């Protein structure tokens, strides 16, 4: 009967190898169990019979019935990726930590949707040296809209403004109408502090009942 004469260094190496094998990570495939809520931080797995954490690299939220790639190390399980999803395969991209933020950095970013694109947030901020919107139809809906700038230029073929009240305040105002300027008013009141002047080739004033001029001095001709 022979006895092992391995050196202490060899025995230590074997012990280190056994310890490394016990803690070595391996990958497997599992299915997300029904009733699992990825936003709660843990994902229930069917075959493993345990819950796993979602890896930071797994941006697609796992759903019940998904076939996922799972990594195991010691007593901890991690969902690395969603491999197969039954049905239409709709997906939600998010981070495992709901309080975390995400940034996308690239030389150029293009978002393309064949049907509809929707952006929704309690608050949005856009910062750019130049912004251009091109659309066949553009609609703004809001309870309050404020525009601040040095100069505003509007160029359209037809301009329709519908409001219950319109207020305009300016240091000076210039209106140039090359064609017909027509107004239809219920009542009109003009209050001018200094001088009011009107010049035309012909002027016509018509009143159905009464026409009055009230002044200290009236000059005609």
- 69, 27 Cβ separation under 8 angstroms: yes
Please report which confidence band the pLDDT of residue 106 belongs to, taking 50, 70 and 90 as the band edges.
Answer: very high
Mean pLDDT of all residues in 137-147: 90
Q: What percent of the chain has pLDDT over 70?
A: 88
- Under 8 Å between Cβ of 70 and 48: yes
Q: Distance (Å, rounded) from C-alpha 203 to C-alpha 47? A: 93
Question: How far is residue 145's CA from residue 155's CA, in Å, rounded to a whole number?
Answer: 20
Poorest-pLDDT segment among 11-20, 50-59, 188-197: 11-20
Q: Provide the token pair at 31.
A: 């299915």
User: Mean pLDDT over residues 95-121, rounded?
Assistant: 91
Give me the domains of the chain, ranges plus CATH numbers.
25-84 (2.40.50)
pLDDT, mean of residues 79-96:
90
pLDDT score recorded for residue 167: 92
pLDDT of residue 68 exceeding 50? yes
Element (H, E) at 21: helix 8-23
Helix or strand or coil: residue 40? helix
pTM higher than the cut 0.85: no
Query: Hey, is 140 helix, strand or coil?
Result: coil
d(CA 72, CA 29): 11
- The pLDDT, as a whole number, for residue 50 is 85
Q: Which two tokens stand for residue 54?
A: 């979602």
pLDDT tens digits along 170-196: 999 999 999 999 999 999 898 999 998
Q: What is the dihedral of CA 81, 87, 88, 91, to 10 degrees?
A: -30
Which residues make Cβ contacts (< 8 Å) with residue 74, sequence separation at least 6?
23
Q: What mean pLDDT is predicted for residues 25-42?
A: 81
Query: What percentage of the chain reaches a pLDDT higher than 90?
Result: 44
- What is the SS3 assignment for 23? helix
């Amino acid at each position: 009967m022979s006895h092992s004469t391995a050196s202490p260094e060899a025995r230590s190496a074997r012990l280190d190898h056994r310890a490394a094998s016990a803690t070595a990570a391996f990958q497997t495939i599992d299915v997300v169990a029904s009733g699992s809520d990825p936003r709660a931080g843990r994902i229930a797995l069917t075959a493993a019979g345990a819950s796993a954490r979602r890896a930071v690299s797994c941006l697609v939220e796992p759903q019940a019935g998904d076939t996922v790639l799972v990594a195991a190390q010691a007593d901890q399980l991690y969902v690395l990726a969603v491999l197969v999803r039954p049905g239409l395969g709709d997906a939600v991209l998010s981070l495992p930590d709901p309080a975390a933020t995400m940034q996308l950095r690239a030389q150029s970013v293009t978002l393309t949707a064949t049907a509809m694109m929707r952006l929704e947030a309690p608050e949005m901020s856009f910062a750019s040296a130049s912004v251009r919107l091109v659309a066949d139809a553009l609609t703004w809906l809001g309870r309050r809209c404020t525009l601040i700038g040095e100069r505003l230029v509007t160029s359209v073929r037809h301009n329709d403004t519908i409001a219950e009240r319109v207020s305009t305040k300016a240091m000076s105002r210039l209106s140039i109408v090359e064609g017909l300027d027509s107004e239809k008013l219920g009542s009109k009141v003009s209050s001018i502090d200094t001088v009011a002047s009107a010049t035309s080739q012909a002027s016509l004033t018509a009143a159905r009942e009464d026409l009055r001029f009230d002044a200290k001095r009236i000059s005609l001709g």
